[in-house]
């Protein structure tokens, strides 16, 4: 009997050991086959190290294989802040004697594109997954932040785009770079033009719409062009309130919590408070009913048990 048990234990032990060997072999073979398959497809990307304004971003690539195969792949150029074309999957059959030689055109570089590092890539999707990437640089002048300020007098404490006739109009600006070269032209309502230097202050001499055209330059940066408009009126506008909120403590008519919170929020809060009180009363009544029912049940059980004892 002991010999049988020992033999049985040895069979279980060796079976488990053999199972581990089989699992390891499958894992090793799968990785070997996958690595071999990846090595069977060779991808080379040829691209310039940097591109400048006016150039088209593009790259050449070669795909070769060690044996005949059908592949699916995508071409791509990825940049942080540049146009990105939708990815299109390409499918083709390659023989070991042929090489795919293609050119991928991404986008043209203009003034709107800032300097940055981008990545050109070819990614195989089927029958295996493999991706080859290559970095390149977009070498353009950076842009900078510039904002025109229109104010009611100096200093620029109150910004506006509507001024009163004969009042002061103060022009100022905010710039990310120091001491930029600013060329500013003011066009009056009667279409006369005047060159101004920012910051500056003028009198609102004409009623109507004014236009301000500004060109900002700084060595090593892109040129910034800005346009702005403002108006001058003869007298201050009298704005009649069209509010339907009477602020009388009563939520009536078309008043709601949205357009008249002064009246309706208090009413809604009172209603909510009443609803909460009602819910609490209902819960209390239910609790009392449950307690009474439990007391009646216990009382009935005690009486019944007393009768049974008396009968005995």
* 146-233 matches 42-138 in CATH topology: yes
State residue 90's pLDDT score. 95
* Residues 37/29, Cβ–Cβ less than 8 Å: no
Region 201-215 average pLDDT: 96
Q: Which helix (H) or strand (E) holds 283?
A: helix 261-311
Rounded CA-CA distance 227/251 in Å is: 47
SS3 286: helix
List, as one string, the DSSP characters of 258-273.
Answer: TT-HHHHHHHHHHHHH
For the whole model, what pTM was predicted? 0.52
Q: What is the pLDDT of residues 239-291, one digit of tens each?
A: 555 567 777 777 777 777 777 777 676 545 555 555 656 777 888 888 889 88
Find out whether 207 and 186 touch, Cβ atoms under 8 Å. no
Task: For residues 18 and 25, give the distance between their C-alpha atoms in angstroms, rounded to a whole number.
Answer: 11
pLDDT at 105: 96
Rounded to whole angstroms, the Cα distance separating 278 from 289 reads 17
Which two structure tokens, joined as six digits, stand for 170? Answer: 């103060």
Domain residue ranges in the chain: 42-138, 146-233
Q: How far is CA 96 from CA 63, 66, 67, 156, in A?
A: 10, 5, 5, 73
The phi and psi torsions of 268 (rounded to 5 degrees) equal -65, -35
pLDDT tens readout for residues 254-264: 777 777 777 67
What is the average pLDDT across 232-238?
Answer: 84
**Fold (CATH) for 146-233:** Immunoglobulin-like (2.60.40)
The domain made up of 42-138 has a fold known as Immunoglobulin-like (2.60.40)
Contact 124, 153 (CB under 8 A): no
């Amino acid at each position: 009997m002991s010999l049988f048990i020992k033999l049985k234990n040895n069979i279980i032990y060796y079976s488990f050991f053999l199972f581990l060997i089989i699992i390891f072999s499958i894992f090793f073979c799968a990785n070997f086959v996958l690595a071999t398959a990846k090595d069977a497809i060779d991808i080379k990307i040829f691209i310039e190290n940097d591109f400048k304004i006016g150039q088209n971003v593009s790259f050449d690539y070669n795909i070769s294989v060690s044996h005949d195969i059908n592949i699916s792949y995508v071409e791509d150029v990825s940049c942080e802040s540049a146009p990105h074309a939708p990815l299109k999957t390409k499918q083709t059959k390659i023989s070991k004697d042929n090489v795919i030689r293609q050119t991928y055109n991404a986008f043209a570089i203009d003034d709107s594109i800032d300097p940055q590092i981008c990545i050109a890539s070819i990614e195989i999707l089927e029958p295996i997954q493999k991706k080859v990437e290559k970095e390149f640089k977009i070498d353009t002048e950076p842009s900078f932040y510039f904002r025109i300020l229109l104010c009611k007098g100096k200093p620029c404490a109150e910004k506006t785009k509507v001024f009163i006739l004969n009042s002061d109009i103060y022009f100022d600006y905010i710039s990310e770079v120091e001491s930029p070269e600013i060329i500013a032209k003011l066009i009056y309502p009667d279409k006369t033009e005047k060159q101004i230097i920012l910051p500056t202050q003028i009198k609102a001499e004409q009623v109507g719409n004014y236009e301000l055209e500004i060109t900002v330059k700084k060595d090593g940066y892109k040129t910034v062009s800005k346009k702005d408009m403002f108006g001058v009126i003869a007298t201050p506008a009298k704005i009649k309130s069209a509010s339907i909120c009477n602020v009388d403590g009563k939520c009536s008519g078309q008043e709601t919590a949205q357009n008249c919170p002064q009246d309706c929020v208090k009413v809604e809060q009172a209603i909510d408070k009443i609803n909460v009180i009602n819910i609490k009363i209902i819960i209390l009544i239910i609790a009392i009913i449950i307690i009474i029912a439990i007391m009646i049940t216990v009382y009935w059980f005690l009486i019944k048990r007393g009768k049974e004892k008396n009968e005995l």
